[in-house]
Structure 1
């Protein structure tokens, strides 16, 4: 049953909450840094990064396991790609190089987590990157970065008000330290209050100041591999072009779901791929 405290995200609501107008140069649309991607999952960073560009980011920087960095630099020629040290198992090692910390200190937006696969190493990476980030830099945490946050809730304490969390059900349960209740609107609101962050959870968006929204466009087709990475990238790209965390998250949640709606009829409802969602992002934003 819909929660009456939530405002439904509609094209009219978004039209009245217009995104910052892109400036003439790429610098005015922000530099987005996406860090993640183990040896076996560099595609998560690719999806998030290209989605950020499609959402309007001006410049893109990607950081992935060093064995996959050359291939990713070819796959995404628009991005600067940095290789990160790996464990013997192919996970990104937490003791990241100074080159990544320098990028983090200069980035306008940082997205952490897509494609990472080791909680302990991720916690070290997140701690180091956040310590290097400039005060007030918007952050988007996804996947294993959320797992690291669940074990160290203070990781984002110094960045309250500038953080977006994009959990799935399992990650949300870890962040809350218990099983999720049926009222996802309430659960999103609790997460927002606990972590001082804007949260998007299965179409429910909550801000730490108590505001809540609900998107009603989601469908089963969005439950495909890599879909969450695309949503993370959309939000990061909108932050890069100057949207505030709540605005970027509401717009990103809507655009992600509406892109799926556009693809559904062409692919039998559930047959579209996350990479195809990316290709719908710019057009979906333009038609709101």
Structure 2
């Protein structure tokens, strides 16, 4: 496939690229560990974590600033929630406790970034978690984890684990070190090649080998607070089920977009909330 000829992600393409359907108990569908959530933004981790479960992950673990952990554990009773050391300002500290690195070593997927708010501390945390991750652990990097990666682009070099980056256009600018051009697909391909990771950017999904897909169902309403956290969680959930990085990104991008389309008759093209996407995820997947 050439870079100028992206494949359009359609239900037919997805049916021919079916998601794994592991049998057995919840462990067969993998553990997702979501790490982020400053004192002021634990909801980002909640959105990503619930999205992962809705996408089919079997076990959910959430790690947030200590001051938010109890409230989050009540809000998401399906998850194991641990508190992380935080600064006086409420940011997650960069030196994670042994409990977190132990969980990272056993997780099938680690999603890092939702709700973090200090790029320097996010970089320290990212480096420690990458060091703790198992050799086959998949990684999803979002939000401030992407800003941290842009400052240390060698962090992913020579890593064999599947990695998916889920930037918005602002984060893409940091990853590139320049303003993205009008050709978003080409931008996604450039980022994928630079960081040796699959990238999903504004409806375009790129593999480091140059392959490119385009999702055409997205609506303006997806540009709402928390929507990106939902998208990263969906991708993490598909990775937990055993999907490859490009497959999880294509499925995740399409399911996120179509879940938004399903809300349009109820709320209009804009005005629905990111949390309202969550209940649409399993129905959207089931109808493929």
Q: CA RMSD in A?
A: 0.9
1:236 aligns to what? 236
Q: Residues 84 and 97 of structure 1 are in contact (CA less than 8 Å); yes or no, is this contact kept in structure 2?
A: yes
1:67 and 2:67 aligned: yes
Correspondence for 1:84: 84
Partner of 2:15: 15
CA distance in 2, matches of 1:273, 1:160: 36
- Structure 1, unmatched stretches of 5+, are none
8 Å contact kept, 2:139–2:161? no
Residue of structure 2 equivalent to 1:224? 224
Residues 197-244 of structure 1: CA deviation (Å, up to 9, x unaligned): 000000000001111100000110000100000000000000000000
Unaligned 5+ segments in structure 2 are: none
Q: What's 1:163 paired with? A: 163
Question: Offset at 1:22?
Answer: 3.1
The alignment of Structure 1 onto Structure 2 pairs a total of residues equal to 286
- Mapping of 1:252-271 within 5 angstroms? 252-271=252-271
**What is residue 149 of structure 2 aligned with on the other side?**
149
CA offsets per residue over residues 123-165 of structure 1, 9 Å max, x none?
0000001100011211000000000000000112242561100
Could you tell me whether the CA contact under 8 Å between 1:161 and 1:196 is conserved in 2? no
For residue 279 of structure 1, what is the aligned residue in structure 2? 279
- With normalisation by structure 1, the TM-score equals 0.98
Q: Is the 8 A contact 1:204 1:213 kept in 2?
A: yes
Question: 1:87-125 CA distances to partner (integer Å, 9 max, x unpaired)?
Answer: 111000001100000000000000000000000000000
Question: Paired residue for 1:30?
Answer: 30
Residue number in structure 2 paired with 1:51: 51
Q: Contact between 2:168 and 2:201, CA under 8 Å: does it hold in 1?
A: yes
2-side partners of 1:158 and 1:25: how far apart? Answer: 33
Contact 2:108 2:136 in 1 (8 A): no
Whole-angstrom CA distance in 2 between matches of 1:208 and 1:52: 24
Q: Which residue of 1 aligns with 2:130?
A: 130
Report whether the alignment pairs 1:189 with 2:185: no
Alignment correspondent of 2:6: 6
Report if aligned partners of 1:203, 1:215 keep a CA contact under 8 Å in 2.
yes
* Contact in 2 for aligned 1:32/1:237 (Cα 8 Å): yes
Partner of 1:94: 94
Which residue does 2:202 correspond to in 1? 202
Asked whether the equivalents of residues 19 and 243 of structure 1 are also in contact (C-alpha less than 8 Å), the reply is yes
Q: What is the TM-score normalised by the length of structure 2?
A: 0.98
Q: Distance in 1 between matches of 2:52 and 2:198?
A: 18
